[in-house]
A and B are shown apart, each in its own frame.
Chain A
Amino acid sequence: MIKLTLCHLYPELLNLYGDTGNIITLVKRCQWRGIDLNVVQHNIGDIGDFKNADIFFIGGGADSEQDIAGHDMKNIKSELKDAVEEGKAFLAICGGYQLLGHYYQNKDDTAYGLGLLDFHTEPGDSYFVGNIVVRTHDYHLVGFENHIGRTWLNGLKPLGHVVSGFGNNGEDQTEGLRYKNVMGTYLHGPLLPKNPKLCDEIISIALKNKYNIESLEELDDSLEIKAREHTLRSISNKYSSLA
């Protein structure tokens, strides 16, 4: 049986906005294909042993909890760096995404960022809240964003470009970040249930890395597509064809 391992970083702290839904989706879409996806947790104080991890996931949390996680993450920085450079799949959402760069909490209180990748986040004056549509290399992402941070990529590649919504900073049309197989993004909702193509891309990366398998069995995504259509239409009729 094909077996993959997902390492969920700090699930007890970083669990805002239905992030668990991303894990559920990864597990189910593997299960429906006969792939066993084992989810392990990495919590505060745990040793950074990621040899068996094929997929990493880190979500967002409240500021105080993000701080605690950020400080603990220093201890596993070099192990994470290795995993990133090896090309392991890494999905980072919202606060978890910000933590990978140089991160600022607010104007008077500078908080810790891991600096794993060279980008940074500054506080804005208002929350970017609402539905968002993003064009990536070959599909569109649909999600919900809710963040006050403004992220600047300093030349790194974005995950995609904003079709509707705010994205990284509301100015340069970029959304998220893509470095090797690290995908950082502000999209939650959660992200993966309504974006099965992204979910499958993550699974594909892991299969290629571990088993050198190139193909992925198709699933019946008609309900997912209807859900995408429904959301896209609620943003604007002109987007419904992007489902």
Chain B
Amino acid sequence: MRRILAIMIAKITIALVKLMGHRGSNIGGELALRMCSDILAWFGSQVKDKIIFVTGTNGKTSTNNMIYSIIRESGHSCICNRLGANLDSGLISAFINNSSIFGHIDADYACLEVDEASLAKVMVHIKPHIIVFTNIFRDQLDRYSEIDVLLNRIKKSLKTSQDTVLLINADDPSLVSLEASLPHVKYYYGVETAADMGSEDMAKDSVFCKKCGCRLHYDHYYYGQLGHYVCKKCGFKRPIPDFKAFIQDSEEKRKLTVVGKDKNFKVEVDMDINDTYSIYNTLAAVSCAALMKNTPETVLCGLESYRPQVGRMEKFYIGKPITLNLAKNPVGFNESMKIVSQDENSKIIAIGVNDFPQDGCDVSWLWDTNFEILLEVDDTIENYTVFGRRRYDMALRLKYAGVDENKLTVVDTVFDAVDNVLKTKSDVGYILLNYSLLFDTQKILKGRNEDDKTHPVPSVS
């Protein structure tokens, strides 16, 4: 009865919040959780077939949504927190949105993106069948303390669920060191081709062997700490992936081929977004789908129907093409700025940094981010606009990167930031921001978007 009451109240709250024009990803779930502490376990027990978690620092939302699309394509019903609300309350909200007023759900699968620091909390209630790990980068240190602490916490929670199958990025030494000692069934995915992912960023988090403390040797290096590594002292090395990705670059396109261990599974995907993330996200999603015995045809159709979520290189046209991209940490920002720096058009770039709990209260990571790369194309950048609660930290960061203060504009609101992007004379505009600024900014852009002109974007080479 308490359960039903909790769900009813949560549903009403979600509806009210939506009426007021907010997203309400978390609030309904939070209420329900307070009224009924075992609600997540109860929802989980109703899922008929499999529950999949996607966790890690970067790429959770995209990977999870690709898996969702593939499951839907295979003809099954699936519950998914598509907008990326990934704390326990967000997961509960996803279930509530798909439940009857009495809390019954009718779903074959649930694929849920889970915040890496909340994994322990969530796994008390739900033991997933598969956990997909994307990567572990430095992100929001004040919440996750240090990477070692985070890894240990993840390890502990995994020990409570030994039947869970782990799908791990073989190219990430942090993840691999974590999983090596665990008794679980493990599958690895990794990129085989020594492709140039063009990264010379500063965000190498764990180039030292977690086992013996020696420096890892890299044969290839992709980005962050991802690559083909070996410890020459203790022998710790990249495992041979069960799912291998090969990259073939031609002038305009990038073809990604994923091959399963038994060679019967092979998928070829044309990539149209030129950031490195998409490769790993797609590889992780395809590997997970293969583990669930989906056919290559289903996987391809699923990827086709997948649409990138809000703020992942989202394009608008308001007098000029504007690209909105979410970036949450040094690796994410470095990848975004690489794309900006490859665009030869004259441009305005707006950078928004907030410091709410979901963003991380400590913004010192701005100094681990290679904003200096923008200076290489400074002559094509008309103006740098900074906004968000930590706009002055961002302004200082740009000043010390070498940006001329006359080209630096500090604005107080999201509205002013968008306004400045639109009124500055330039061919294109870029807005890079972190999580809590995303939806307000996107709403303003959407409101002013000239729909028919979304396509004529000057090529981002």
Q: Is the interface of B mostly helix, strand, loop or mixed?
A: helix
Nearest CB of B to A186, in Å? 13
Collect the chain A residues with CB atoms within 8 Å of residue B397's CB.
21, 193
Considering residues A44, A127, A193, which has the most beta carbons from chain B within 10 angstroms of its beta carbon?
A: A193
Does A170 count as interface, using CB distance less than 8 angstroms? no
Q: Contact between A28 and B400 (Cβ–Cβ < 8 Å)?
A: yes
Residue-wise, chain B 326-368 has the 8 Å CB interface mask toward A (1 for contact) of 0000000000000000000000000000000000011111111
C-alpha gap A64/B365 in the complex (Å): 20
Does A63 count as interface, using CB distance less than 8 angstroms? yes
Does B167 count as interface, using CB distance less than 8 angstroms? no
Q: Contact between A65 and B208 (Cβ–Cβ < 8 Å)?
A: yes
C-alpha gap A117/B328 in the complex (Å): 39
Considering the complex, give the chain B residue whose CB is closest to the CB of A61. Answer: B146
Does B34 count as interface, using CB distance less than 8 angstroms? no
Does A84 count as interface, using CB distance less than 8 angstroms? no
Residue-wise, chain B 197-216 has the 8 Å CB interface mask toward A (1 for contact) of 00000100001101001010
Nearest CB of A to B139, in Å? 13
> Would you list which residues of chain A between 11 and 60 have a CB under 8 Å from chain B?
12-13, 15-21, 24-25, 28, 44
Q: Contact between B364 and A231 (Cβ–Cβ < 8 Å)?
A: no
Q: Contact between B146 and A63 (Cβ–Cβ < 8 Å)?
A: yes
Q: What band does the interface of chain A fall in when counting residues whose beta carbon is under 8 Å from B?
A: 35 or more
Given contacts A63-B148, A230-B392, A231-B392, contact A21 B400 (CB under 8 A): yes
Does B141 count as interface, using CB distance less than 8 angstroms? yes
Collect the chain B residues with CB atoms within 8 Å of residue A16's CB.
141, 146
Considering the complex, give the chain A residue whose CB is closest to the CB of B392. Answer: A227
Q: Contact between A226 and B392 (Cβ–Cβ < 8 Å)?
A: yes
Q: Contact between B141 and A17 (Cβ–Cβ < 8 Å)?
A: yes
Q: Contact between A17 and B364 (Cβ–Cβ < 8 Å)?
A: yes
Q: Contact between A17 and B362 (Cβ–Cβ < 8 Å)?
A: yes
Collect the chain B residues with CB atoms within 8 Å of residue A68's CB.
208, 213
Nearest CB of B to A188, in Å? 6
Q: Contact between B146 and A62 (Cβ–Cβ < 8 Å)?
A: yes
Q: Contact between B141 and A64 (Cβ–Cβ < 8 Å)?
A: no
Collect the chain B residues with CB atoms within 8 Å of residue A234's CB.
389
C-alpha gap A4/B397 in the complex (Å): 23
C-alpha gap A19/B363 in the complex (Å): 12
C-alpha gap A13/B204 in the complex (Å): 11
* Option from B202, B362, B408 in Cβ contact (under 8 Å) with A20: B202
Does B395 count as interface, using CB distance less than 8 angstroms? yes
C-alpha gap A9/B148 in the complex (Å): 22
Collect the chain A residues with CB atoms within 8 Å of residue B367's CB.
18-21, 24, 190, 193
C-alpha gap A128/B113 in the complex (Å): 30
* Option from A13, A62, A188 in Cβ contact (under 8 Å) with B147: A62
Does B396 count as interface, using CB distance less than 8 angstroms? yes
C-alpha gap A21/B389 in the complex (Å): 20
Considering the complex, give the chain B residue whose CB is closest to the CB of A15. Answer: B368
Does A223 count as interface, using CB distance less than 8 angstroms? yes
Does B179 count as interface, using CB distance less than 8 angstroms? no
Nearest CB of A to B436, in Å? 15
Nearest CB of B to A104, in Å? 17
Does A2 count as interface, using CB distance less than 8 angstroms? no
Does A224 count as interface, using CB distance less than 8 angstroms? yes
Collect the chain B residues with CB atoms within 8 Å of residue A44's CB.
215
Does B440 count as interface, using CB distance less than 8 angstroms? no
C-alpha gap A16/B405 in the complex (Å): 28
Nearest CB of A to B372, in Å? 9
Q: Contact between A18 and B365 (Cβ–Cβ < 8 Å)?
A: yes
Residue-wise, chain B 296-340 has the 8 Å CB interface mask toward A (1 for contact) of 000000000000000000000000000000000000000000000
Nearest CB of A to B368, in Å? 5
* Option from B142, B208, B392 in Cβ contact (under 8 Å) with A129: B142
Does A144 count as interface, using CB distance less than 8 angstroms? yes
Does B399 count as interface, using CB distance less than 8 angstroms? yes
Does B145 count as interface, using CB distance less than 8 angstroms? yes
For the A-B complex with A21-B366, A190-B367, A193-B396 known, give 13 more contacts whose Cβ atoms are closer than 8 Å: A17-B364, A19-B367, A21-B400, A28-B400, A62-B147, A65-B213, A146-B141, A189-B363, A193-B393, A223-B408, A224-B396, A226-B392, A227-B392
Going nearest first, the 3 A-B pairs with the smallest beta carbon separation are A21-B367, A18-B364, A18-B367
- 21 A-B pairs whose Cβ atoms sit less than 8 Å apart in the complex: A12-B207, A15-B368, A17-B365, A18-B366, A21-B367, A44-B215, A62-B146, A64-B148, A64-B210, A127-B145, A188-B364, A189-B362, A190-B364, A190-B367, A193-B397, A223-B392, A223-B399, A223-B408, A226-B392, A226-B410, A231-B393
